Amino acid sequence: MKCGYYVTTMVTITTKLVKDGNSMAVRLPKTILAMSGLTNSVRLEAKQGQIVLRSAKQVRSGWEKQIAQVKATGVSGKDDELADWEAVTGDGLDQ
């Protein structure tokens, strides 16, 4: 029997802000970083009383390369699969 639940482990720690030049910093333990999956680049979101760290992964990362590859294959922008669309929409079956 399979369970339909996704179980995650959440760890909460308390730490201090430390002075780092003209800024303040937070030291993130290696274990917390490993559990989060965060890497070199993060996005910060400031809300009242909290700062949220999220992955800064670019959603469209690599699209330019993929588009260039498609263009290089010589594929035209025309879709022959729908070439007979007008004939199908005018057959009177949709009434």
pLDDT tens by residue, 23-76: 999 998 888 888 888 888 888 999 999 999 888 877 677 788 888 888 888 766
Using the structure block, give the residue that is written with the tokens 């917390």. 32
The verdict on pTM exceeding 0.85 is no
| Residues 2, 18 contacting (CB under 8 angstroms) | no
The predicted structure's pLDDT at residue 79: 64
The predicted structure's pLDDT at residue 91: 58
CA dist., res. 85 & res. 21, Å (int): 65
- CA-based Rg of the chain, rounded to a whole angstrom? 26
Task: Indicate whether 95 pLDDT > 70.
Answer: no
Q: Which residue has the higher pLDDT, 61 or 94?
A: 61
